[in-house]
C-alpha cells in the first residue's frame, strides 16, 4: 500500500521520511500552491465575497507532479503547518487533488521528532473548515482594505504607496508616539543624593522630603538650600524594613515574546527571528543524530507544555543542578485571554540536546536563538529566586532620605537565565548592615540637575508588545508588518528606535482623518476577535465581511468625494547640511538606489551628495579622498566607492581596513561579521580560504 504525505517545506521531507519508513512517500508543496491573482483584487464582493483562486504559475510542474503522485497513492495525508495558514494550504491541496473533504486525511506535527510525527499520524482529522474560513476571512479582508485604500493614496499622495489593515494602525502608533515626543515640554527638577557610610561601606540615599510629605526639588536654589541646611547635620537610621521577595521565572516563549526577547538580547529583527526559528523547527543536521527538529512549532500564543516535556525538563534540572532548584509544586502558566491555545509554548524537543552539546552543528545565529529558547524553557520549570529586601529611611534635621536594595538568598532560576528588559531601570543595590538608631558618616551631598524626559520611541520589541497585549493582528504577522512599513520608508530605524518619516506621517494623517476605524485600536482588536470566532465556528465569515464592507465602502466614497482634485504634498526631510553652492539647507531624497541629499533649490541648483551617515571614516586607499557607500545601478548591490569619482575609480564590496595583503599587495577589506579578506579575487589567500571550506 502506497501512502503520500504532503508537507509545506522541503526541509521537513528528509526528517519525516526517516521516521515514517519506506511505505510513505513524502513531498513538499513549497508553501501555497494557489492564491488570489496578483494583477487584480480577485474578490467578487457582489456574490458573497467569493475569492478567485488561481494556481500559481511557478508551481505548474509541481502541481502536475502532486496530482500524479496522489492518483497513484492509496492514501494521501496533508501535513502542512499546524495553524490557520497551514489548514488553508491543506484545503487548497485537497481542492486541486480532488480529495474528499469528509475524509480524515489532515495530520499535524507539533514537533518534527519521531514521537511528534507518529503522534500526528496516529490521529488524522478532517480538514477544519472553520479554520479555513477564518484564514479566508483575514485574507479577503486585508485584500479589500489594501486594494481599496492603496489606490486612494495613489490619487491623493503619490503612486506606489500601500495601506493595510493592521499595517496602518502599527504606523499610526509610531507616528502618535513621535508627536508626543515633539510636543513634550521638558521641565527642570533636581535631586540631592547623600553618600553615606555604614559598616565601612559607602552607599547612596536619595532625598525624599520631610517626615510629613514628599517634596519635589524644582530648581537649583531649592537644592542648594537643602545642601546648606545639612552641612552640619547628623544622619541617623530612622527606620529599616526587611522582607523577602520571591522572583518567579518568565514563562516559556510564545511567538510574540520570542520576537521581543530575541530583539532585546540578540539584536534580531522579528523576521530574522522567525526565519531562524522555522529552521530549528523543520530540522537541522545534527552530528550523530541526522536531521532533527530542535524546537516545537514556533507560531503559538499558548503557554501550555506537555507532561512529557515537563518531566524531561525536571529530570535535567535534578541531574545538573539539585532538588533545591525544583519548586515543591509544578508551576503552570496561564495563557492570555483570547489565546487560541492550539499548540504548546515554544520549547526544545529534547532538553538533553543542550546548546553546548549540539552547538557545533548549528550556525552562529541558530545557536544563539536555540540557546535562548532552551534556557528560557528550563528556567521556567525552576525554583523562584529568593531575595532579601531592605528599605531604609534616614533622618537629618527635618529631612528624610531613603534607600532600598536587595541581596540574593537563593539564585533559583537566575542561575541559568533572566528575562531582558525594555528599560535600564535597576532593581536596587545591596545595602550594608545597619540598625535603627545608628549614626552614619556623611561623605558628600550631591545636588544634580535633571530634566523630565519625553516618552521613549517604540522599538521593535515594544511595538510588538503593544500589538500583542492589545490583541491586534496575530503574532505571526508582526514581523512582516514592521518589515513592510520599514521597507516602504514610512518609518526608519534610528539606532534601535522606530521613527516615522514625513511620508509616514502624511499617510497616517490622511487615513486617520478619513478612515478612523481602520486605525482604531479597539476596532482592530474587535475584528481580530471576530476572526477567532469564525475559526471556532461561532460566526459566518461572509456575514462578518458584509458587516465590515458596508461601512467601509461608504466611508471610502465619502473620502473620495471630499478630496476630489486634491493632492497632499509630503514635506521634504530637511537636514542641517548646507548646500555649498547656494547656501540652502539640503533635504533627504530617495531613489531606487537609496537615500541621498539634494538641494531644495532644484532645478536652479542641482547639487546632490551622500547622506552624512553614508560617509566612511576610512579614506580611499587609492587617492586618500573620502569613501562613500553606494548602490550599483546594474545589480542593486551596495559597495564602497571613492567620493572623488570619476577622477578616482576605486570601488570595493567591503570596507577597506587600511592594511595591505602580504600575499599579493592588494587591499584588505572587512566583510560580514568582521571577516577580513583580500580584495583581489585571484589572490592565493582567497584560494586557500576556498580550499579550506
DSSP, collapsed to helix, strand or coil, labels residue 297 as coil
Distance, C-alpha 52 to centroid of its chain: 33
Q: Are 299 and 258 in contact (CB under 8 A)?
A: no
Cβ within 8 Å of residue 591, ≥6 positions away: none
Task: Give CA separation, 219 vs 212, 222, 330, 449, 488, in Å.
Answer: 21, 6, 53, 8, 46
What DSSP state is assigned to residue 501? Answer: -
What DSSP state is assigned to residue 669? Answer: E
* Own/partner pairs, 560-567, CB within 8 angstroms, 24+ separation: 560/152, 560/155, 562/514, 563/156, 563/514, 566/156, 567/156, 567/157
* Own/partner pairs, 315-323, CB within 8 angstroms, 24+ separation: 315/351, 316/351, 316/352, 316/378, 317/378, 317/381, 317/382, 321/382, 321/415
Partner residues linked to 75 by β-bridges: 3
Distance, C-alpha 517 to centroid of its chain: 25
Which three three-digit cell numbers place residue 210? 520631610
What DSSP state is assigned to residue 679? Answer: S
Q: Are 210 and 400 in contact (CB under 8 A)?
A: yes
Q: From the CB of residue 120, how many other CB atoms can be counted at a distance below 10 Å? A: 22
Q: Are 87 and 128 in contact (CB under 8 A)?
A: yes
Task: Give CA separation, 553 vs 557, 559, 687, in Å.
Answer: 6, 10, 63
| Separation CA 524–CA 516 (nearest Å) | 11
Closest CA to 391 of 439, 429, 442: 429
Bin 364: left if φ > 0, else alpha if -120 < ψ < 50, else beta: alpha
Residue 297 bears catalytic tag? yes
Q: From the CB of residue 593, how many other CB atoms can be counted at a distance below 10 Å? A: 12
| Separation CA 367–CA 355 (nearest Å) | 7
DSSP of 580-607: TTT-PEEEEEEETTEEEEE-TTTTT---
Task: Give CA separation, 500 vs 178, 508, 570, in Å.
Answer: 7, 10, 13
DSSP, collapsed to helix, strand or coil, labels residue 167 as helix
| Separation CA 315–CA 322 (nearest Å) | 10
DSSP of 35-84: ES-SSS--EEGGGTTEE--EE-GGGHHHHHHHHHHHHT-SEEEE---SSH
Task: Give me the residue label for grid cell 507518529.
Answer: 118
Q: In what order do the strands lie in the sheet with 594-598?
A: 573-578, 585-591, 594-598, 608-609
Q: Are 350 and 312 in contact (CB under 8 A)?
A: yes
Q: Which helix (H) or strand (E) holds 421?
A: none
Q: Where are the alpha helices (DSSP H) in 459-501?
A: 460-469, 475-487
Which three three-digit cell numbers place residue 177? 508616539
Which three three-digit cell numbers place residue 685? 589567500
Annotated catalytic residue within 281, 297, 325, 417: 297
| Separation CA 136–CA 37 (nearest Å) | 14
What DSSP state is assigned to residue 227? Answer: H
What does the chain come to in residues? 693
Active site residues: 297
Amino acid at each position: 500500500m502506497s501512502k503520500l504525505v504532503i508537507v509545506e517545506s522541503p526541509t521537513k521531507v528528509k526528517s519525516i521520511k526517516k521516521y515514517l519508513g519506506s511505505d510513505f512517500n513524502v513531498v513538499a508543496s513549497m508553501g501555497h500552491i494557489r492564491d488570489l491573482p496578483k494583477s487584480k483584487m480577485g474578490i467578487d464582493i457582489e456574490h458573497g465575497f467569493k475569492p478567485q483562486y488561481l494556481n500559481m504559475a511557478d508551481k505548474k510542474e509541481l502541481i502536475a507532479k502532486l496530482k500524479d503522485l496522489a492518483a497513484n497513492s492509496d492514501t494521501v495525508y496533508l501535513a502542512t503547518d499546524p495553524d490557520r495558514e497551514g489548514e488553508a494550504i491543506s484545503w487548497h491541496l485537497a481542492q486541486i487533488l480532488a480529495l474528499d473533504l469528509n475524509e480524515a486525511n489532515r495530520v499535524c506535527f507539533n514537533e518534527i521528532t519521531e514521537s511528534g510525527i507518529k503522534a500526528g499520524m496516529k490521529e488524522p482529522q478532517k480538514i477544519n473548515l472553520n479554520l479555513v474560513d477564518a484564514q479566508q476571512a483575514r485574507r479577503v479582508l486585508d485584500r479589500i482594505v489594501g486594494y481599496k485604500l492603496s489606490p486612494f493614496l495613489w490619487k491623493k499622495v503619490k503612486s506606489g504607496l500601500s495601506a493595510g489593515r493592521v499595517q496602518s494602525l502599527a504606523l499610526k502608533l509610531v507616528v502618535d508616539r513621535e508627536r508626543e515626543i515633539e510636543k513634550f515640554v521638558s521641565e527642570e527638577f533636581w535631586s540631592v543624593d547623600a553618600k553615606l557610610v555604614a559598616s565601612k561601606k559607602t552607599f547612596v540615599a536619595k532625598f525624599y522630603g520631610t517626615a510629613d510629605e514628599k517634596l519635589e526639588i524644582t530648581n537649583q536654589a531649592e537644592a542648594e538650600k537643602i545642601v546648606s541646611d545639612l552641612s552640619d547635620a547628623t544622619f541617623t537610621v530612622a527606620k529599616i524594613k526587611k522582607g523577602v521577595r520571591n522572583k518567579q521565572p518568565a514563562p516559556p516563549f510564545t511567538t510574540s515574546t520570542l520576537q521581543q526577547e530575541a530583539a532585546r538580547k540578540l539584536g534580531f529583527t522579528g523576521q530574522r527571528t522567525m526565519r531562524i526559528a522555522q529552521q530549528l523547527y523543520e530540522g537541522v543536521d545534527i552530528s550523530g543524530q541526522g536531521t532533527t527538529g530542535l524546537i516545537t512549532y514556533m507560531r503559538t500564543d499558548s503557554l501550555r507544555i506537555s507532561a512529557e516535556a515537563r518531566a524531561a525538563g525536571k529530570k535535567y534540572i535534578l541531574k545538573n543542578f539539585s532538588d533545591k532548584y525544583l519548586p515543591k509544586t509544578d508551576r503552570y502558566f496561564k495563557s492570555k485571554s483570547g489565546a487560541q491555545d492550539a499548540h504548546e509554548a515554544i520549547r526544545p524537543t529534547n532538553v538533553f540536546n543542550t546548546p553546548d552539546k549540539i552547538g557545533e552543528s548549528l550556525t552562529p545565529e541558530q545557536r544563539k536563538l536555540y540557546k535562548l529558547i532552551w534556557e528560557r524553557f528550563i528556567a521556567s520549570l525552576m525554583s523562584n529566586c529568593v531575595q532579601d529586601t531592605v528599605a531604609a529611611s534616614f533622618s537629618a534635621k527635618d529631612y528624610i532620605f531613603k534607600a532600598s536594595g536587595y541581596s540574593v538568598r537563593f539564585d533559583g532560576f537566575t542561575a541559568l537565565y533572566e528575562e531582558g528588559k525594555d528599560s535600564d531601570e535597576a532593581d536596587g543595590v545591596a545595602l550594608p548592615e545597619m540598625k535603627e538608631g545608628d549614626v552614619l558618616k556623611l561623605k558628600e551631598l550631591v545636588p544634580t540637575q535633571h530634566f523630565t524626559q519625553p516618552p521613549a520611541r517604540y522599538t521593535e520589541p515594544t511595538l510588538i508588545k503593544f500589538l500583542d497585549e492589545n490583541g491586534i493582528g496575530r503574532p505571526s504577522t508582526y514581523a512582516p508588518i514592521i518589515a513592510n512599513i520599514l521597507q516602504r520608508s514610512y518609518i526608519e530605524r534610528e539606532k534601535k528606535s522606530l521613527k516615522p518619516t514625513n511620508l509616514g506621517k502624511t499617510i497616517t494623517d490622511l487615513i486617520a482623518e478619513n478612515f478612523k476605524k481602520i486605525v482604531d485600536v479597539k476596532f482592530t482588536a474587535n475584528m481580530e476577535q471576530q476572526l477567532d470566532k469564525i475559526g471556532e465556528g461561532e460566526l459566518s465569515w461572509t456575514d462578518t465581511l458584509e458587516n465590515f464592507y458596508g461601512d467601509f465602502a461608504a466611508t471610502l466614497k465619502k473620502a473620495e468625494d471630499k478630496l476630489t482634485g486634491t493632492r497632499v504634498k509630503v514635506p521634504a526631510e530637511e537636514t542641517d547640511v548646507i548646500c555649498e553652492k547656494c547656501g540652502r539647507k539640503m533635504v533627504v531624497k530617495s531613489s531606487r538606489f537609496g537615500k541621498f541629499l539634494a538641494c531644495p533649490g532644484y532645478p536652479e541648483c542641482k547639487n546632490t551628495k551622500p547622506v552624512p551617515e553614508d560617509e566612511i571614516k576610512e579614506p580611499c586607499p587609492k587617492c586618500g579622498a573620502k569613501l562613500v557607500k553606494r548602490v550599483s545601478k546594474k545589480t542593486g548591490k551596495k559597495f564602497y566607492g571613492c567620493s572623488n569619482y570619476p577622477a578616482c575609480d576605486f570601488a570595493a564590496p567591503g570596507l577597506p581596513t587600511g592594511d595591505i595583503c602580504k600575499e599579493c599587495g592588494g587591499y584588505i577589506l572587512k566583510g560580514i561579521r568582521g571577516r577580513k579578506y583580500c580584495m583581489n579575487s585571484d589572490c592565493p589567500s582567497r584560494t586557500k580560504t576556498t580550499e579550506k571550506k
